[in-house]
Structure 1
């Protein structure tokens, strides 16, 4: 999730204290976004389908708000078979057309085709440790500790390396910025601002 684009705020904002007395990253105002911030963002996930889901949704977010993706996530999970790589890898042209007619998701042909491509690439990775192992291998040794949104990164040497390796393995829509967002979302490092109540928890 490229949270700074969602926030629409000045770039020097630090944690904001809510009505419940807890300090949070400034994009986590209320509702769905607050729930995601408090319970999911920056927490480790496990298993191939969990990583494929987040990789897919980060790609679909490009150019959109993360709140839009979260609202559509149940439908994404339904139409992409719970992000079961074995099922999605079998999707053919007719399935792409079916998904292009599915109003509950983001109807972008290139992104839908990329989701199928990435499912097939995920299967190919199984013989070499799998998607989860590959992503985890790119965790930063010196993770960032931003105090304000101005200090937050959108890419890193590790996200660039992960992007390059995934592309080499046949993945699509896995640019360095998208991979940095994936690394934040899956807890490869703690992405919360210093002072946010979720940091280091």
Structure 2
């Protein structure tokens, strides 16, 4: 089964049906619109750290990530230097991967620089498609799209790293740019951006 009805009578995909942390994330956060710079930078950073790991690992470490990376405030992270890199590499609460740590600092600097050209939220949301997928099963959920590939190219051109098209598609799912909740899930169409049929809920969303 791709959807599991819980004791509360709500249908969720199998990945969000048992672990309380994942269920809460699915019910409250995943797929809801994020349009502020700090929120998008955090999620972009965490998606990059997640590459090759389980999302559960990242969620469990998110409080430590927020502490280690100054709440993901781009200006603060952009000011990190070699001493901060060493500190982060010694922090067992986060994923201690030098390339990903250095990418996060570089991406913070790129985020600050992008303000002169409209800012990170405007750029990321400019790649919202006209329609969103309507997956019936987990196998129907795409891992990339034309828009995620274009977003990846646009971010790389502005100095971002660890922003491949699969990672960017995961970001787009997480922040509501697309809605890949399975048809029949209690969260399908709940973001206010997308209707359950895969169309934009309202003009200008």
Normalised TM-score (structure 2): 0.90
Q: Distance in 2 between matches of 1:16 and 1:159?
A: 29
**1:17 counterpart residue number:** 5
Instruction: Classify the secondary structure of the residue corresponding to 1:199.
Output: coil
Cα deviation, 1:68-112, whole Å, max 9, x if unaligned, reads 100000011111111111010011111101100000000000000
Q: Distance in 2 between matches of 1:25 and 1:184?
A: 15
Structure 1 stretch displaced more, 52-61 or 85-94: 85-94
Q: Distance in 2 between matches of 1:182 and 1:151?
A: 18
**2:182 counterpart residue number:** 193
Aligned residues: 189
Cα deviation, 1:135-173, whole Å, max 9, x if unaligned, reads 000011121110101111000000000000000000000
Q: Distance in 2 between matches of 1:29 and 1:41?
A: 14
Q: Distance in 1 between matches of 2:3 and 2:128?
A: 24
Q: Give unmatched runs, 5+ long, in structure 2.
A: 191-205
Q: CA deviation at 1:14?
A: 2.4
Q: 2:148 matched to 1:137?
A: no
**1:27 counterpart residue number:** 15
Q: Give unmatched runs, 5+ long, in structure 1.
A: 1-12
Q: CA deviation at 1:25?
A: 1.6
Q: 2:153 matched to 1:164?
A: yes
Q: Distance in 2 between matches of 1:16 and 1:177?
A: 26
**1:112 counterpart residue number:** 101
Q: After superposition, where does 1:117-132 map in structure 2 within 5 Å? A: 117-132=106-121
Q: 2:71 matched to 1:78?
A: no
Task: Point out 4+ residue stretches in structure 1 off by more than 4 angstroms.
Answer: none
* Higher relative contact order, structure no. (Cα contacts within 8 Å, ≥ 6 residues apart): 1
